[in-house]
Amino acid sequence: MKKHRLSTRLWHWINLLALVILFMSGLNISNAHPWLYWGQWGFQPNTAWLAVTRFPGWATIPGHYDLAAARDWHILFAWVFVVGLLAYLLIALFNKHLGRDIVPHRKEWRWSAIRADIAAHLRFDFNHGEGKYNFLQKLAYGVVLFILLPLMFLTGMAISPGFDAAFPWLLDVFGGRQSARSLHFIVAWCVFGFFVIHVLLVLLSGPVGQLRDMITGGRFDEAA
């Protein structure tokens, strides 16, 4: 039995590409007006709740300031991201990957089990026991899949005036376009934080084997 199904591996790498391009093009867009506000309106820096630093060219797409090109990259890969996420969730629901591997079981929510899992991570012991993932992995993946990524998509729609006619309620849900923009920025950095932690844990738990398994699928009996 494969440790990672083909659908999971394809989504993993396509999603990585999409999120990297979305993040880097988003930094270029941020450079156009590096101030964040709450509410429907916001133009003056003195009313902003946060003044965002200007990001260097090596961290942005394109590598120089170009708002129009950055928006084109952002919109194109937003569709890659959304289609890929929906396809992955539908396939994972159909093949029971979500229920079997991602959703924590009732016994895993016991404080004694959570405490033991935290202690194991602090010892750099990443053994997942009987299943494919341990509780903290399931919790992190669940937050990203069902909270952060959908929030990033919905706030992105709310930012764009092109969606106002089709989804007028989005602005009310997020409290205005500028609030949606602020939330979009915060969620993007939360996803970036998850990415950094994910990479660090891969490096600590054997990067060669982890990368091999995410490319070839690996064998489930090798996961323990």
Q: What is the pLDDT of residue 176?
A: 93
Q: Residue 210 above 60 pLDDT?
A: yes
Q: What does the alpha-carbon distance between residue 161 and residue 167 come to, in Å, rounded to a whole number? A: 10
pLDDT tens digits along 163-199: 888 888 899 999 999 999 999 999 999 999 999 998 8
Q: What is the pLDDT of residue 208?
A: 85
> pTM of the predicted model, to two decimals?
0.86
- Residues, the chain: 224
Question: What is the enclosing helix (H) or strand (E) of 67?
Answer: helix 67-94
Residue type at 64?
H
Q: What does the alpha-carbon distance between residue 57 and residue 61 come to, in Å, rounded to a whole number? A: 8
Q: Which domains does the chain have, with CATH numbers?
A: 6-222 (1.20.950.20)
Beta-bridge partners for 50: 36
Q: What is the pLDDT of residue 177?
A: 93
pLDDT tens digits along 59-97: 999 999 999 999 999 999 999 999 999 998 998 888 888
Does residue 136 contact residue 197 with C-beta atoms inside 8 Å? Answer: no
Average pLDDT, the chain: 88
Q: Residue 131 above 70 pLDDT?
A: no
> Quick one: tokens of 154?
């919905």
> Quick one: tokens of 105?
């079981």
